[in-house]
Each structure stands twice: as C-alpha cells, then as structure tokens.
Amino acid sequence: MRTLISNGTIVTAEGSQEADVLIDGETIVQIGRGLANAGIAADETIDASGRYVIPGGIDVHTHMELPFGGTFAKDTFETGTRAAAFGGTTTVVDFAVQSRGKSLREGLDAWHAKAEGNAVADYGFHMIMSDVNDDTLAEMDQLVAEGIPDFKLFTAYPGVFYSDDGAIFRAMQQTAKNGGLIMMHAENGMAIDVVAADEVAAGRTDPYYHGVARYPIFEGEATNRVIRLAEGAGVPVYIVHLSAREALAEVRAARDRGAKTFAETCPQYLFLSLDDMKNGFDGAKFVCSPPLRPADHQAELWTGLVKDDLQLVSTDHCPFDFHGQKELGRGDFRKIPNGLPGVEDRVDLLHDGGVIGGRITRERWVEIVSTAPARLFGMYPRKGAVAVGSDADLVVYDPNATRTISAKTHHMDVDYSCYEGRQVRGRSDIVLSRGSVIVRDGEFTGRKGHGQFIKRAAADFARMS
Ligand code: URP
Ligand code: ZN
Ligand code: ZN
C-alpha cells in the first residue's frame, strides 16, 4: 500500500517546509515538492492543504491499568492507545511494575500480556523498580538488552514504591555499567507523610489538603538529592512529572554545571493549579502526585520548556473514575488514588497554550511532544521524525480547527475530564501509525492488535546536553 500526503506543511523540530510525503507500507520513502504532480503512483492520496504534517506524538509517561490505592487505572492498552491516537499520539511508553518481592521479569511479562494483541498503536515499556537487591540489579542488564533501558524509582510513596538513597544509588551504579537510565519520582515522601498525617488529625481531610501537604520544597529537596546521587554515580538522571519551581531550579542549576540532568513536565502543571482542588470532594478529580501547584509556578515551567531545561511534556496518564474510584478517599485524601487522565489532550493543549498562546514556536511544539521523547528514549529517527526511512507515524494536523474538551466526547475510559469545557485550537484530523490510517476525521479506522512493542535502544547521553 502506497499513500501520498500532498500539499501539507511538514513541521519538524528542525524547521518547516511545503512538501509531499510518500509512504510505502509502513515507512516514509520519499519527501519532496510536487510529488503529486510528478506521476508518483499511490493507492491513496491524502490532501493536507492548509494543514501541518507532523511526526506522531510520543507520550513517554503513561500508566495503563496501574494498580494503585486498592484499584487499577482504568484505561487498558486498547482504550488508552485508541484515545492517544485520537489526540495525535502514536506511541506511548508505559510503566511496567515490579511488585514488592517479585522479579522484574514477572512484572514485565504481565505488562507484555496486557499490551500484546490489544494496543492499537505502538508502545514501549519502562520498568518501575520497587525492590533494589542483587537479583533485581542483575535483571536490569537483561532488560536493557531487551529494549527496556529505563527504570523508575521513587523517593515518594513510603511502603509502596519508595526506595531509600542507598537503593537509588545502587540502581544508578548499575546503569553506569549497563547504559540504562534512572527516572526519578522526586518528592520527599517521608516528610509528606508527616504533614499529611497532621492535616488529617486536624480534620482537614478534603482533597485540597493532598495538594497542601506535598510542599513544593519537598519536591525541590528530593530533586536536588537524586541529581546529586546521579552525579556521584557518574550517570545521567531523568526527573519525571516535574511540577514545582523549586524542582526546576535544581534541574537548571545541575544543567548549568554540566550534569546530565533531564526532565519532563506535564500538561496538568502547565494548565491547572492548586485552586482546581478547592471544590470540596470534587477536588479529588485533580489528585495526582506531585500535586497541582499555585498558578504562579506555571510561567516558570513554560520558561523551562523554552530554554530546554525541561526537554519534553508527557502526560503521566493514570485515569481513575470519579465515581467509585476517586471516591475511595472520601473522608481521607490519603486514600484517593493518585493520577489524572490526559493522554488524549496533550498535543492539542500544547499547541493551543504553547503555539497559539505565543510561548513556543510550532517547531518547538513538535520537538516537545514527539522528537525529544524519541531522542531521549532511544526511538529516534525511527520515531519522532518526518524523514525517509522513518516509520510512517504521521498526523495531518489542522492548526485552525477548534474543539471543546469534554468527558462526553473524549475516548479515554474515564468519567470526567480535568479540562471540561476548555476550548482548544488545533486538532489531529488524520492519524497514521506505521502507514495505516487509524483515525480519520473523528472516526477510529484502526484495529486492536495493530500496535507493536518497540524495542528501544539506550540513548546516547554522551552526545546529549
Ligand atoms: O499521581 C500520579 N502521578 N500517579 C501515577 C503514579 C506516578 O507517581 O507516576
Ligand atoms: Zn511518579
Ligand atoms: Zn506516573
């Protein structure tokens, strides 16, 4: 099957050009002006006039079916990757979980079983490590060889995913040998638990106090600590879901002194704030960790994206229904499952707030939502590029269309939207995954099982700054 995308404006991280794209099978085979008029034969021609042609979005932080707080994140690999596709994201990297006392292998096998035959678009895995011991350290090397080169550890969630400094340092030492990457959830979970217990004891049990108890300085402290541990081990480190200016200041300082420190933020920290958590128990819809911050943090996060102290935006997609799941925490915010839905809205929110909002160029937008994730997570140039030889993961994007975000129309399997009623400019009209059209004008045209596991290489951090 040959598909020609004609008359569009190709937008990549490097620049923009008017050119046509020829796809043969799953791969981009030719890019040039006027291919449509040059007698190139194609089975289908997609007219992209007035629209952008961009590399498919890559969301490197999702949690399909994550077990958390006595329940599970609702989206499966089928519903989650379908929702992602509607929003212009054609690859997700999800977190497989090693449960305490079990092997990494058991966790990884479980995640392969969840995804294989179900995903509608491509996927990879990172590995959450709950135990660091001789066995799991040895297993890390094997996972790197199998295309799972990143490992998430936590200074948060004592008793669940928490690792102490020695465990984190040992895991970092292991990546010094095997070329993997440690991803850190950096909040001081021990201190947070003290404050959270004080709040509940004082009768402050509403969701809002989840946000109050997790001080920004606790994120700043843990961010500094894990960066310093990584410097001690001589390895790069990646900070996930950075939310607070205090944490950004630590990342910026580290990068200024030449440390290989990388970080992502998420749409919820750019567009939502602690005030959203104020509305009685309705605030539970916004409970995630790190929490939403006072609105004045947002401008600094945008500056971080402009200056590349933050390299990319992922969603931390981890949806729990308000009814029946978030409600587990009525009367005690500590029991509300942590996480927000978002995989469908990231590309449009960043286009609307970033490009239309005049904060970033359209090229930087593409870099933040696709190219930088591909580079940092070992998929470039197979993914994240519009280039000959790359996978034909492409989005025909209308930068002028408007849509209103709502739970009534979204495709994520969750009963509310954090952005209910927000109008955004920009929409993914046609979405291709490895050459197949999987979304066309609001209709799903793909198939369950089309998505493939992407074996990723360890990124070449020596060449990255
Ligand atoms: O609230 C969040 N972020 N839930 C998902 C788990 C995590 O820490 O990423
Ligand atoms: Zn986390
Ligand atoms: Zn997460």
Query: Is the beta carbon of 243 within 6 A of some atom in ligand 1?
Result: no
Q: Do 412 and 83 contact (CB within 8 A), yes or no?
A: yes
Residue that wins the pLDDT comparison between 330 and 458: 330
Best residue for ligand 1 mutational test, from 92, 240, 288, 315 (most atoms within 8 Å of Cβ): 288
Taking the CA atoms of 8, 405, 417 and 195 in sequence, report the sign of the dihedral they define.
positive
Which pTM value belongs to this model?
0.98
Q: Is the pLDDT of residue 460 over 90?
A: no
Task: Please name which ligand lies nearest the alpha carbon of 292.
Answer: 1
Query: Is the beta carbon of 339 within 6 A of some atom in ligand 1?
Result: yes
Nearest CA to ligand 1 atom 2: 339
Nearest CA to ligand 1 atom 7: 289
Per-residue pLDDT of 227-238, as tens digits, reads: 999 999 999 999
Tell me what pLDDT residue 17 has.
98
Question: What is the rounded CA–CA span in Å between residue 171 and residue 190?
Answer: 20
Nearest CA to ligand 1 atom 5: 339
- Output the CA 361–ligand 3 centroid distance in Å: 27
Question: What is the Rg, in whole angstroms, of the alpha carbon atoms belonging to the chain?
Answer: 21
- Output the CA 23–ligand 3 centroid distance in Å: 34
Per-residue pLDDT of 50-105, as tens digits, reads: 999 999 999 999 999 999 989 999 999 999 999 999 999 999 999 999 999 999 99
Nearest CA to ligand 1 atom 8: 289
- Output the CA 4–ligand 2 centroid distance in Å: 41
Task: Please name which ligand lies nearest the alpha carbon of 268.
Answer: 1
Q: How far apart are the first and last CA of the chain?
A: 40
Query: Is the beta carbon of 245 within 6 A of some atom in ligand 1?
Result: no
- Output the CA 320–ligand 2 centroid distance in Å: 15
Q: Is the pLDDT of residue 450 over 90?
A: yes
Per-residue pLDDT of 353-380, as tens digits, reads: 999 999 999 999 999 999 999 999 999 9
pLDDT, average across residues 152-172: 97
Question: What is the rounded CA–CA span in Å between residue 362 and residue 451?
Answer: 28
Question: What is the rounded CA–CA span in Å between residue 170 and residue 160?
Answer: 19
Question: What is the rounded CA–CA span in Å between residue 302 and residue 310?
Answer: 9
Tell me what pLDDT residue 37 has.
85
Query: Is the beta carbon of 391 within 6 A of some atom in ligand 1?
Result: no
